[in-house]
Copies of this chain bind each other. A is one copy, B any other.
Amino acid sequence: GTRDYSPRQMAVREKVFDVIIRCFKRHGAEVIDTPVFELKETLTGKYGEDSKLIYDLKDQGGELLSLRYDLTVPFARYLAMNKLNNIKRYHIAKVYRRDNPAMTRGRYREFYQCDFDIAGNFDPMIPDAECLKIMCEILSSLQIGDFLVKVNDRRILDGMFAICGVPDSKFRTICSSVDKLDKMSWEEVKNEMVGEKGLAPEVADRIGDYVQQHGGVSLVEQLLQDPKLSQNKQALEGLRDLKLLFEYLTLFGIDDKISFDLSLARGLDYYTGVIYEAVLLQSPAQAGEEPLGVGSVAAGGRYDGLVGMFDPKGRKVPCVGLSIGVERIFSIVEQRLEALEEKVRTTETQVLVASAQKKLLEERLKLVSELWDAGIKAELLYRKNPKLLNQLQYCEEAGIPLVAIIGEQELKDGVIKLRSVTSREEVDIRREDLVEEIKRRTGQPLCIC
């Protein structure tokens, strides 16, 4: 259920994280960290049915602890505990779920989450729009294919359930049926609502008329004219906010990526307002390969009540955030690299310090040390008398672009032979110019101009 990450996987991982972190920082986020375990009671009652998937620590004396299940609940606990009223932060860390890992492809019991959240009392929909902008920036930068962001609002869903005649007590369970519309047909979902959950068929049909709709801002405007829905206070608030959201998304130039989708419901209990989920429009896998399937790669929403659950006085801090589904993204990027048979470098070494003759270990050690001290990424083989061929092969395998070769003659002349691994060209460089030449050749900036 868990796995090690090899250097190759870690190299992919670092590239993906780099794109994500650069985006989070571009939007002015701070970073926090919380412990891997929380008090068991902190996690209790936050995840609905999924609470059974929480890992508990053994009672070895002291408090009862559980491994974190996501990063949102620890974030809310952090805000309440530190009496913070506003913060914009990101948090990248692993979370733990006792899921059956074999059942779902690419799902593990330990996996990364990348969360960005904005907490604070602000004017409506400005932070919400920024969260969607961030999702679009990251998914575009990662170049994993075309995507669409489905948007809805919990208040619209609840208002719709109310006017369709769903009893209050069934809102959540009917909500989770609706959420299955991305995987099941309406007929199947209706059967679940009526057969398993005891909803009257005509109520289900009324829901069906709504949740099968999706579109842009024009659908929002149409529903604002809907005689029943517009009479429901909650739904009206949700629709007005969505209209404002679309205005901001247009200013951000991402309205074409967004679809108002009444079937989007999201599983978690704590959402209170706008919710969203990004899906890839087609598998990036090439024809003939096993398709990755279309699925969610990022999601989030507004949760204005969660911090209050941890505050002794119930003080509320409105929050909105997003989570990037990095594990799915890692798989997609890894699969793409494999398909392209692209070589992934797992080190950044610029130069291997080598020798052509025997008995030059001391000289190699001196030179590699000079290079390290000058900030050059350098290696040498841990052999007293390695063969030149072995040293060159090492470079080929590791993708090291340059070899600095020491020989008796070079030592006498005060030069180093610098060899390009790909072109096999060799040039004598004066030893005092070597550092600069390596920097020049490997594109390390010499100055900021």
Q: Which residues of A line the B interface, CB within 8 A? A: 1-7, 10-11, 13-14, 25-37, 55-60, 62, 67, 78, 81-82, 87, 89, 94, 96, 98, 110, 118, 120, 122-123, 126-127, 129-130, 133, 137, 247-248, 251-253, 346-349, 361-362, 365-366, 369, 372-373, 375-379, 382-384, 398, 443, 445-449
Given contacts A382-B127, A448-B443, contact A372 B58 (CB under 8 A): no
What 8 A-B pairs are tightest by C-beta distance, nearest first? A122-B382, A7-B30, A2-B35, A28-B379, A5-B33, A56-B58, A126-B382, A28-B349
Write out the residue numbers on chain B whose beta carbons fall within 8 Å of the beta carbon of A58.
Answer: 55-59
Least CB distance, A441 to chain B, in whole angstroms: 12
Write out the residue numbers on chain B whose beta carbons fall within 8 Å of the beta carbon of A2.
Answer: 35, 37
8 A-B pairs within 8 Å (CB atoms) are namely A4-B34, A25-B348, A26-B376, A36-B67, A36-B110, A123-B383, A137-B373, A449-B449
Least CB distance, A219 to chain B, in whole angstroms: 23
CB of B120 within 8 A of CB of A382, answer yes
CB of B447 within 8 A of CB of A251, answer no
Write out the residue numbers on chain B whose beta carbons fall within 8 Å of the beta carbon of A55.
Answer: 57-58, 60
How many monomers of this protein are in the complex?
A: 2
Least CB distance, A320 to chain B, in whole angstroms: 10
Cα distance A28–B348 in the bound complex, in angstroms: 6
Contact of A10 among B1, B3, B32, B377 (CB under 8 A): B32
Cα distance A405–B3 in the bound complex, in angstroms: 50
Contact of A252 among B33, B253, B369 (CB under 8 A): B369
Least CB distance, A173 to chain B, in whole angstroms: 26
Task: Output the residue of A30, A349, A361, A379 with the most chain B CB within 10 A.
Answer: A30
Contact of A31 among B10, B253, B448 (CB under 8 A): B10
CB of B251 within 8 A of CB of A369, answer yes
CB of A133 within 8 A of CB of B448, answer no
Q: A6-B32, A36-B36, A133-B369 are in contact. List 20 more A-B contacts (CB 8 A).
A: A5-B32, A7-B87, A7-B89, A14-B31, A27-B377, A28-B347, A28-B349, A36-B67, A37-B110, A57-B67, A60-B98, A123-B383, A126-B383, A129-B365, A248-B365, A251-B362, A252-B365, A445-B445, A446-B449, A447-B449
Given contacts A57-B56, A59-B58, contact A25 B346 (CB under 8 A): no
Write out the residue numbers on chain B whose beta carbons fall within 8 Å of the beta carbon of A78.
Answer: 4
Contact of A57 among B11, B33, B57 (CB under 8 A): B57
